[in-house]
Structure 1
Amino acid sequence: MKSMAWLVLMAVTLGAHAGEEESTPCDNVETDQQSQACALFSRQTAERELGAAFDELVQRIRDQYPDEGDKVADLTGRLQAAEKLWTGLRDADCKVETYAEKAGTKAFEAAWNTCVAQRSDDRSEYLQSIGQQ
């Protein structure tokens, strides 16, 4: 139960980034089921934002090297390789963070989704910082 209280707190925190104007599953989280829905929503939102941050970085690379296709291809390839490595590290970290929960349970899924959302938010911020002057 201690872990569920932590998940509710994290869900409410993560839900805050979704935007104050629109209603989300992270509004007024009071039950385990609402916490699980919020964690899934947060993960999906964070993964969408991560994809957008990646795409925006690729566009910044293209804009920075408009007439240098070889540099664009090389840097984009490096970025894709880094994302693949980062995904492995994220999953390994989340396996450590969710160790106390039994795999396949709702508590595990909520903890996993919360972990992935947090790591994805961090990675999005990092990707957004690259190439900014």
Structure 2
Amino acid sequence: MKSWLLVLALASLGAHAAEDGPTPCDNVDDSKASLACSAYNKKTAESELKDAYKDLLDRAKTNFSGEPAKQAKMKDLIGAAEAQWEKTRDADCAIETFEAKPGTPEFTTAQDDCIAQKSDERSEYLQTLANPGDEGDVPEQ
């Protein structure tokens, strides 16, 4: 069941990226192509996460533009949360890759897939913080 969900998550990442043109995730039919696709998905997800993190910091800066102490506190809180999340991500991915032998293509693929999935989930969460109300809610008038 878990592997099926991972396949769906990777397919959605690859499908999203494919909108911009061909990717290494097009026509994955062997372990070498799977390795290239997982590396691409990891890189893409980490880039999106970096953007979401920057957007959240920018929002905090804007929201507390006249309050430098609050800006600094929010920046510290966001940084601490991100550091804790990275530890949790790494621990979760260690569990998911436990049976794979480090240094093998299977391990690298599983590790990259896990990081991509966790990064994508985190990015979505940070986007909800940076852009509250963008989930389709209509503001009250």
TM-score normalized by structure 1?
Answer: 0.89
One-letter amino acid of the counterpart of residue 109, structure 1: T
- Do residues 129 (structure 1) and 132 (structure 2) align? no
Whole-Å separation in 2 of the counterparts to 1:57 and 1:8 = 29
Aligned to 1:112: 111
Give 1:31 shift.
1.1
Unaligned runs of 5+ in 2: 134-141
Pick which of 5-14 and 101-110 moved more: 5-14
CA displacement 1:61-98 (0-9 Å, x = unmatched): 11111101110110110100110010000000000001
Give 1:17 shift.
2.4
Q: Is the 8 A contact 1:43 1:116 kept in 2?
A: yes
- Aligned 1:1-133 pairs, distance under 5 A: 11-131=10-130, 132-133=132-133
What is the aligned residue count? Answer: 130
One-letter amino acid of the counterpart of residue 44, structure 1: K
- Aligned-pair Cα RMSD in Å: 2.0
Task: Specify whether residues 25 and 45 from structure 1 end up closer, same or farther in structure 2 by C-alpha distance, changes over 3 A only.
Answer: same
Unaligned runs of 5+ in 1: none
Pick which of 13-22 and 30-39 moved more: 13-22
Task: Specify whether residues 9 and 56 from structure 1 end up closer, same or farther in structure 2 by C-alpha distance, changes over 3 A only.
Answer: closer
TM-score normalized by structure 2?
Answer: 0.85
Which aligned runs of 4 or more in structure 1 are off by greater than 2 angstroms? 5-14
Give 1:28 shift.
1.1
SS at match of 1:44: helix
Task: Specify whether residues 83 and 115 from structure 1 end up closer, same or farther in structure 2 by C-alpha distance, changes over 3 A only.
Answer: same
